[in-house]
Amino acid sequence: MGSQPFSVFKLSTLILHLIPILFASRSLAAEAGCETDPVSKEIICEFTPNPSYCKSMLPNQTNNVYDYGRYAVRKSLSQSHKLLNLVNKYLQRNSTLSKTAILALEDCKLLAELNVDFLASSLQTLNDSNRTLPSSKAEDVHTWLSAVLTNQQTCLDGVQATSSSSWRSMKNGLLLSNNTNLYSVSLALFTKGWVPENEEEEEREEEGEVITWRKRLLQNFGDVLVRETVTVSQDGSGNFTTITDAVAAAPVNTKGLNGYFLIYIKAGVYEEYVNIANTKNYLMMIGEGINQTVITGNRSVVDGWTTFNSATFVVIAPWFVAVNITFRNTAGAIKHQAVAVRNGGDLSAFYNCSFEGYQDTLYTHSQRQFYRDCNVYGTVDFIFGNAAAVFQKCNIYPRLPMRGQFNAITAQGRADPNQNTGIMIHNCTIRASDDLASDKGTTRTYLGRPWKEYSRTVYMKSFMDGCIDRDGWSKWTGDFALSTLYYAEYKCQGPGSNTSRRVTWPGYHILKKAKQVKKFTVSKFLLGKKWLPQTGVPFSGGLI
């Protein structure tokens, strides 16, 4: 990342004026089994980030929160279809557009297609319920609607970065800002009507692992259900010589009951651009180890790619798992944004993997993600995006950037206060890479900076070496997001963890009690106990 942030929303001060009768204890949510009372749109809209827009788009008749919410999601689905049709229309005129404009449009097309799917799935769930949803169903819809906003923002970022005159004339026609407001209203009304209150479950801190996995899976796949195994080997001794061909052979739209399609990748350097498309769910890749099985590419923004499609390896499908693989982008610091992995796969997990690049190494784009025992190397904003992502027992290595640059480990992109997203760094080690260490402290390295207005990042019980600047965190530009972001540190160690001279922004917090960070653990933030056991990846649900 590195461009001027796009601020979509400003919190309304009216959010503070609660209506005690209509919204007592649970805002507008009804008791289980009972419908909420009808309420005017003027009242319901005060609980959205953009009340004036909300009032303009909701119908005039009085409804309850569920009817308003379904109306907003239906309208959002309709607008996503319109945007998709419009993008397709523009792509048909591509002879007048630059390469960068065409790539930006293709990004928008993919993202609009995903939004149609997410909104249709959300509406199907919401049509069946006039009550708060069970936590797992609520989290699914919350994730989808959050991803819809993220996808829209990604499309908008690509549009803003394109400067050709022929493309500028189309920007207003896409009505991206209006769609963003609409999706924000849908998300806000969903959280008011269908999301249950947080349940305070007693959970002990786990000292051991839920699954002792490494040896069992590599020997006989242990408790992980595998439907089929294929091998990729460059010497022709396997089923395929390229990873791309193996992915193409994987079944589409499979169910978890059938198990994973496992691609075993023998040692070698694979110069490929691999895309795990949305239909290739329940796909698992196992390599022969970090720096043994390597997937590498060199696309970058300087060479004409958008940040979104500069990635060497892309995950869109849900239930993806990768083990023992190195992912690289070798474009180098001089090529600016150059992504090694872009991950938008829901319920995805990476174990014992390495992500290597400089600026924008790991794009945690959207949905729920888990990283365990991984290495991440980079310089500027090298863990960025708007997923709900937890990094546990990972090694994070800031590298030496270009002259005049500083390092920012994270650039989290939460653009709406109702999104369930953030970057959680738990029991990790942050240590300067060899080239940065030899720089003898002349490069400033920060824990993060706010890419979007509600950026959220928490470091919990992690080790920070002396490369971390005493301020801890960096501004994006001016005072942007300093009062709306949520940055926190909890019981970190090491010479870079001293918080006595940290920034004093309103959104920065030094946390001292376990209950303050419990909601950011694997069990709470990702509901990890419900889905990670099936992947076979080890994890600790509570604080380590």
Tens-binned pLDDT, residue by residue, of the chain (544 aa)? 754 333 333 333 222 332 332 333 333 333 333 446 899 999 999 999 999 999 999 999 889 999 999 999 999 999 999 999 989 988 887 777 888 888 999 999 999 999 999 999 999 999 988 899 999 999 999 999 999 999 999 998 888 887 665 565 566 666 666 889 999 999 999 999 999 876 544 444 444 444 444 434 444 445 789 999 999 999 999 999 999 999 999 999 998 888 999 999 999 999 999 999 999 999 999 999 999 999 999 999 999 999 999 999 999 999 999 999 999 999 999 999 999 999 999 999 999 999 999 999 999 999 999 999 999 999 999 999 999 999 999 999 999 999 999 999 999 999 999 999 999 999 999 999 999 999 878 899 999 999 999 999 999 999 999 999 999 999 999 999 999 999 999 999 999 999 999 999 999 999 999 999 999 999 999 999 999 999 999 999 999 8
Residue 44, C-beta contacts closer than 8 angstroms, at least 6 positions apart: 28, 54, 58, 65, 68, 189, 192
- Rounded Cα distance, 305 and 308, in Å: 8
Residue 34, C-beta contacts closer than 8 angstroms, at least 6 positions apart: 131
Residue with token string 């994006």: 476
Q: Evaluate the CA torsion angle 325, 216, 371, 492 in order and state its sign.
A: negative
From the CB of residue 64, how many other CB atoms can be counted at a distance below 10 Å? 17
**CA distances, 83 to each of 407, 428, 479 (Å):** 37, 41, 33
The CATH architecture assigned to 226-535 reads 3 Solenoid (2.160)
Residue with token string 């651009």: 273
Burial (CB count <10 Å: 0-12, 13-18, 19+), residue 70: buried
- Rounded Cα distance, 443 and 379, in Å: 10
Domain ranges of the chain: 41-194, 226-535
Catalytic annotation present for 381? yes
Same fold, 41-194 and 226-535: no
From the CB of residue 75, how many other CB atoms can be counted at a distance below 10 Å? 18
The CATH superfamily assigned to 41-194 is Invertase/pectin methylesterase inhibitor family protein (1.20.140.40)
Catalytic residue among 381, 416, 465, 479: 381
Residue 237, C-beta contacts closer than 8 angstroms, at least 6 positions apart: 231, 266
Residue with token string 């920034």: 503
Burial (CB count <10 Å: 0-12, 13-18, 19+), residue 212: exposed
- CB-CB contact of 456 with 481 (8 Å): no
* φ, ψ for residue 385, nearest 5 deg: 125, -170
pTM, two decimals, is: 0.91
